A and B are shown apart, each in its own frame.
Chain A
């Protein structure tokens, strides 16, 4: 439990450093493993890339020591490990498809990693207190909406794989939806912190549900309509689901009213049913989910992914020894299936648990945060990661119909990487604030009374 003591708790930076070295070590081993398996040689640029990754990770670590010394020590190592493993798998798919380091996707992804970490570090330095962000609540809303709707514009909007998610300006293309996620989380947090009283206290009680007033339904209806607009305009089930799920979750946290979940779920199911009846591409997805091996299936993507994972079995083929490139989008949406094939069920479990741990640290940060905005933002961002993992991995393993979403930190793609590192920076910032010993006195007197009586060992153990 989040016990706060007046004893100065350890910052956890040394733990972080050790874990970070461990993470980079695993990535370097995986890199060697891939190249030895595929080409029979240790990668010639091992030192450059290994030290490069270590340098990037250590630089971020130093920024944390300097500007957020109480930040959660697990977040950075987990992100580094996921990002590094993603790079290795992207490189492995490059090799499998006959691309070398210069022409491959991995090189670009490495640059994106460096850039994303730099921007995340910059964000950490610039945003010295996350509460500053609350000032920009409505600017965040505007930014988020513009980013979301950008791909629907003519000329710059781009359609790929049947979804209109990309914008292209000259040679650069990006998925603005990824960044919209952050802007919208900031907006929801700011907006809900201000209006939570109105949304939670007023309203009639019907049976066991406290129903909101009619006019308070406005925001949730707006969010629902916008997510439907994304679904229709961009043909993207994933972003639509992520966006609406994020909103409902944050609304529930802010108001503590189950009625919002009931309303949200009802709206979602209604919208989903409507979409299923109206749009053939939704029907196609559902049919592929129900029977991916149907002889008249319109795509064998789901089937190929499943067969890839099955090929890996329990222990996997070993890195570089399977055929992950047999699946479409093996280095982006389907990267988990690639890991499933080469690292087996064991590898998939490890990765899922890494994500679970990352989300758990994020939610713990939310619980530890001392004010509403930070709580909402941390919980929202963490939930967004969880939901995104659920949607993409669940789509691959047939828990839910497949919708295109990137796998956080792992998928090839700069926008996604950038967005996730910025999310990480925000979580680190909030966790630093949450874990930093309260400047004597005023805050949380109620908890302090119990906390001081707790033995320090238990306290540190519980709040590490």
Chain B
């Protein structure tokens, strides 16, 4: 019986050889492609358990990784809860890194970014665990707090930038959420929070300052129309056609002024007067005079229709294409299909505050490696020259009179010159409107530019105008930021 046993031994060695070959195939030949499969949770777990860099505000973490005893080894915590949620975003074991810097600078925080390659090599050689880099944000806590407090429980957004650099000083979007709920290690709790946040009609996960479904800008867009006019040969004192009611070209629809008031003498008004009282008829007429191309070009010069990353992606604001004359008239006052982010509106103000130069907005001041070496330092960049310095100066003067004598008096700060523009942007057909205010201060040496939008509390006209609701919020923010 020995011969068959020996043959069986050969069979057995073939069987074991097959196992050796197969395991080599899995763990060596195919290993890389298996590791890179999207459903490979181990790769995700590795990312999660790594020492992820913190997000810092004035040196204090607003997002950090803390060691835990469970299998995920580290948990991401947000000490300030919902306060900076739209800036930090969330880092969830289940839903990934998204919603803010966590998503936009994931590779840097995780320590896998290309710019960290050299350090990774050193880590690998020395056997130390790779560590992520930390981010210091540009936010000014005083401005951020003033904005959040002033906005209160109203749905809306406040964003403030430094006009000279483009640094974002405040970014408040309400309602917000607590990212700790998504970063938790309890799967059912995380899923429950996710379900709740994603089905909430108020969309708390959306950062309204740079994204979401965008807002009609209303009268704040008159700044763009006025800028286009000044750039195209109109003088501030130029008389504009400003009837009580303006019949939209090619239609019988009559566009009234707000509350049916007249601008100027009821027939004409200067450009300056029209800005001051936010004259609808004058700007509707002016848009027709300037033409869609000129308006769109001016809007683009301010940053409309451009992809920006601050480093979160900013939804481009847009000026509609293929419009007829009636629609063109409506775009002149920021109605029809003009759609903006509050950040874009703040950029318009900031450009006027900065001699017509638009600075590229940014949220990250410094990137530091785990050993505190500075890897990257923000370097302010000009985005475009939206208008000439003269135009900017002329518009600033008009905006100052808006706050001193016109529709934006609620934004006035004693002892300081504030420039601003109100807006009350209708949407839908029932008359509901979002309240806007944008401006900067101090007007002679601008330190901060702001945009505020407060969403309509109901689906009907509430009587709340930008001057009533948004201007006081802007005032609080400007006051906090002007003395930085």
Q: Cβ of A313 and Cβ of B27 under 8 Å apart?
A: yes
Which residues of A lie under 8 Å from residue B16 when comparing CB positions?
352-353, 355-356, 359, 386, 389-390
Q: List B residues 17-46 near A (Cβ within 8 Å).
A: 18-20, 22-28, 30-32, 34-35, 37, 39-43, 45
* Other-chain contact of A256, B1, B13, B22 (Cβ < 8 Å): B1
CB distance from B35 to the nearest CB of A (A): 5
Contact with A along B63-100 (1 / 0, CB 8 A): 00000001100000000000000000000000000000
- Find the A residue at minimum CB distance from B22: A397
B375 contacts the other chain (CB 8 A): no
Beyond A303-B39, A326-B41, A379-B5, is A96–B71 a contact (Cβ under 8 Å)?
yes
Interface 9-residue window, one of A80-88, A201-209, A246-254, A450-458: A246-254
Asked if A345 contacts B23 (CB within 8 A), the reply is: yes
* Contact present for B23 and A352 (CB under 8 Å): yes
Nearest residue (CB) in A for B2 is A367
Q: Is B250 an interface residue (CB 8 A)?
A: no
Cβ of B1 and Cβ of A372 under 8 Å apart? yes
Tally chain A residues at the interface, Cβ within 8 Å: 55
Interface residues of B in 414-436 (CB under 8 A from A): none
Q: Which parts of A242-262 form the interface with B (CB within 8 Å)?
A: 249, 252-254, 256
- B142 contacts chain A at the CB level, 8 A cutoff: no
A323's partner among B2, B22, B42, B70 (CB-CB below 8 A) is B42
B-contacting 9-mer, from A25-33, A224-232, A304-312 = A304-312
B6: CB under 8 A from chain A?
yes
Give chain A interface residues in 305-332, CB to chain B under 8 Å.
Answer: 306-314, 322-323, 325-326
CB distance from A40 to the nearest CB of B (A): 10
A393 within 8 A of B: yes
Task: Determine whether A439 belongs to the interface, using a CB cutoff of 8 Å to chain B.
Answer: no
- Given the interface pairs A359-B12, A394-B18, the reply to whether A349 lies near B23 with Cβ below 8 Å is yes
Interface on chain A toward B: helix, strand, loop, or mixed SS? Answer: helix
**Contact of A344 with B by CB under 8 A:** yes
A424 at the interface (CB under 8 A from B): no
B48 CB to nearest chain A CB (Å) = 10
A306 lies within 8 A of B1 (CB)? no
A322 to chain B, nearest CB (A): 7
Q: Is A150 an interface residue (CB 8 A)?
A: no
Cβ-defined contact, A252 with B71, below 8 A: no
Say whether B4 faces chain A, with CB atoms less than 8 Å apart. yes
Q: Which residues of B contact A254 (CB under 8 A)?
A: 1
* Cβ contact within 8 Å between B8 and A348: no
Given the interface pairs A307-B37, A310-B35, the reply to whether A383 lies near B3 with Cβ below 8 Å is no
The CA-CA distance from A446 to B19 in the complex, in Å, is: 39
| A340 to B19 Cα, complex, angstroms | 12
A360 at the binding interface (Cβ < 8 Å): yes
The interface residues of chain A lying within 8 Å CB-to-CB of B6 are 367
With beta carbons under 8 angstroms apart, the residue of B4, B27, B31 that contacts A252 is: B4
CB of A376 closer than 8 Å to a CB of B: yes
Quote the shortest CB–CB distance from A350 to chain B (angstroms). 11
In the bound complex, do residue B37 and residue A256 qualify as a contact, i.e. CB atoms below 8 Å apart? no
A322, B49: Cα distance in complex, Å? 11
List of B residues within 8 angstroms of A310 by Cβ: 26-27, 30-32, 34-35, 40
Within the complex, what minimum Cβ distance (angstroms) separates A305 from chain B?
9
Flag if B37 contacts A293 (CB, 8 Å).
yes
Interface presence of B15 (CB below 8 A) = yes
Q: Is the CB of B12 within 8 A of A386?
A: yes
Contact residues in B for A313 (Cβ distance below 8 Å): 27-28, 31
Q: Which of B2, B15, B35, B42 contacts A326 (CB 8 A)?
A: B42
A382 to B8, CA, bound (A): 10
- B1 → A minimal CB distance (Å): 5
Q: How far is the CA of A457 from the CA of B32 in the complex (A)?
A: 49
A307 in complex: contacting residue of B2, B8, B15, B35, CB < 8 Å = B35
Check: B9 CB closer than 8 A to any chain A CB: yes
Q: Which of A98, A348, A363, A394 contacts B27 (CB 8 A)?
A: A348
Alpha-carbon distance A372/B4, docked complex (angstroms): 13
- The answer to whether B23 touches A340, judged by C-beta atoms less than 8 angstroms apart, is yes
A399 at the interface (CB under 8 A from B): yes
- With A313-B27, A323-B41, A352-B23 already in contact, the answer to whether A366 and B5 are too (CB < 8 A) is yes
Residues of B within 8 A of A363 (CB): 5, 8-9, 12
Contact of A389 among B1, B19, B28, B43 (CB under 8 A): B19
- B5: min CB distance to chain A, Å: 5
Taken together as a complex, chains A and B put the C-alpha atoms of A322 and B70 apart, in Å, by: 13
Query: Which residues of A lie under 8 Å from residue B23 when comparing CB positions?
Result: 309, 340, 345, 348-349, 352, 393, 397
Which residues of chain B have C-beta atoms less than 8 A from A436's C-beta?
none
Sampled A-B contacts (24; CB under 8 Å): A98-B70, A253-B8, A306-B26, A307-B39, A308-B42, A309-B34, A310-B34, A310-B40, A313-B28, A314-B27, A323-B41, A323-B71, A340-B27, A341-B42, A352-B16, A352-B19, A359-B16, A366-B5, A386-B15, A390-B16, A394-B22, A398-B22, A399-B18, A399-B22
In addition to A254-B1, A325-B71, A386-B12, 14 A-B residue pairs with Cβ atoms within 8 Å of each other are A252-B8, A253-B4, A256-B3, A307-B39, A310-B26, A310-B27, A314-B31, A345-B27, A352-B20, A366-B5, A386-B15, A389-B16, A390-B16, A397-B26
**Chain A interface residues (CB < 8 Å from chain B):** 96-98, 249, 252-254, 256, 293, 300, 303-304, 306-314, 322-323, 325-326, 340-341, 344-345, 348-349, 352-353, 355-356, 359-360, 363, 366-367, 372, 375-376, 379, 382-383, 386-387, 389-390, 393-394, 397-399
Give the top 9 A-B pairs by smallest Cβ distance, nearest first: A310-B34, A397-B22, A345-B27, A310-B31, A356-B16, A390-B15, A253-B4, A311-B42, A386-B12
